[in-house]
Structure 1
């Protein structure tokens, strides 16, 4: 049983949107902006090798959108999902399961690709099941005006049409139920309805895949909530619960969107829960 970080590609987002009401003079200390007010963002997936299953958590935004679309997100660096999988000895056809924390385009876009002659779409992981949950699927396929631009039809309906779409039971938590990883799912609703955060034990450490609850190290402080969140006060409540639990139990936070920090731990201080130590994946797991 092994896990691997998979870098699917870096991009940039508006720093103000990423930090909501927090002033730039504060958030740029941890997430410096360029001359266009853009900050570095990663799309870091996680690959879990568990027996005969090879599970990919999130896929990045893929490459099927137009040049105009990608022009909004300023992709940078050399990472691709294929080169990252190859680095660890895998191919996308080896993937048996794609676990989607939620269905915003930067998390799910890589799940679907153009077919060979670009007349339609097909699964980018032809042997994989795609996993979401029914409440989030309904939320994504009947989108509210605030999130409509993040839930793209071409990312979603081809999963259903292909027959590869599967739903996780959010009450029974039945994904990888019998795995020695002790795979658990934390459901959170502040960013979007029924976002799923995987949590599991690996080499004696509890790892939580943070997705968009805490996207970067700079978002650890309780009021640092993204402008993209649909229910920011709920995000703060969910963060407060998680931050205290993580500091109490020394969870290792695995960051999907922090381009410069892969994992960290937290600690209690007289100012609340704060960053403890930052780690690279290779420092923790050899």
Structure 2
């Protein structure tokens, strides 16, 4: 197995929304806001070579929205989904599977693109099976008013129309070396891949821990649909990370890709932050 970090650029979100009830005087030390109270966040995906499979986990925001949409989020940085995959020596046609943790636009936007002539929307990865789960799919295609702006039909429906979409049964995984943790606090049935890499485990945290600074239990986003459940789920995943010495991989941390955690007098906290390669034992 080989694991590659796929950077797809940065975007900005309101710092208060990203840290919820945590006072700005605390979170601003870690990710300083600009004059509009916006902080930069990564959109960090993962590419996994495992035997005959080339598995992409999440796809970033993509590039098919209009200037008005991107103006809300100030998409910036030089990396894109396509350029990052190419840097690893692959093309979109090589991807066999796309595992979508959930269907919010900053996770699924790159899964769909315009055709070359611009006449239609089509899956970006023509040879891939796209994986979601039925409960989350129903949640996303019949969204509640609070979450509706995060579920864009143009990011989602072409996957089903193409015939490339399949659903994962809860408690199962279509991949030999990837298990899935299902959580409901952020959104209905978000899936966290737990990757067995040689003798180590990597938990791809999606939006349960969007950054390394969200490890303390009360540090949760205002975007979460069920904040109390998020806190319970964070505690459970952190216990697993300590007990099994898992590496936490952060999708949105603007600086650090990964971290190790440990028990302290204040609860489970970061032991060390760094790049994923810093923690892999080859």
Range of TM-score over shorter length: over 0.9
Please give the secondary structure, in 2, of the residue aligned with 1:43.
strand
Aligned residues of 1:223 and 1:236 also touching (Cα < 8 A): yes
Q: Does 1:90 align with 2:85?
A: no
| SS class of match (2:253) | coil
Per the alignment, residue 280 of structure 1 pairs with 275
Q: Does 1:200 align with 2:195?
A: yes
| Runs of 4+ in structure 1 over 4 Å off | none
Matches within 5 A, 1:106-185: 106-171=106-171, 173-176=172-175, 179=176, 181=177, 183-185=178-180
In structure 2, distance between residues paired with 1:28 and 1:274: 19
TM-score (norm 1): 0.96
Match status 1:34 vs 2:34:
yes
Pair 1:56-2:56 in alignment: yes
Root mean square deviation of aligned Cα: 1.1
Give the Cα separation in 1 of the matches to 2:255 and 2:53.
29
TM-score normalised by L of structure 2? 0.97
Measure how far apart 1:174 and its partner are: 3.1
CA distance in 2, matches of 1:267, 1:284: 14
Local SS of the residue matching 1:72: helix
Contact 2:112 2:123 in 1 (8 A): yes
CA distance in 1, matches of 2:212, 2:135: 29
Deviation at 1:230, TM superposition (A): 0.4
| Secondary structure in 1 matching 2:73 | coil
Partner of 1:47: 47
Judge conservation of contact 1:30–1:217 (CA < 8 Å) in 2: no
Please, which runs of 5 or more residues in structure 1 have no aligned partner? none
* Aligned with residue 268 of structure 1, among 243, 263, 271: 263
Structure 2, unpaired ranges of 5+ = none
Cα deviation code 1:136-189 (max 9, x no counterpart) = 000000000011000001011100111111000113x1311xx2x3x1100000
Contact 2:173/2:180 (<8 A) preserved: no
The number of residues matched between the two structures is: 281
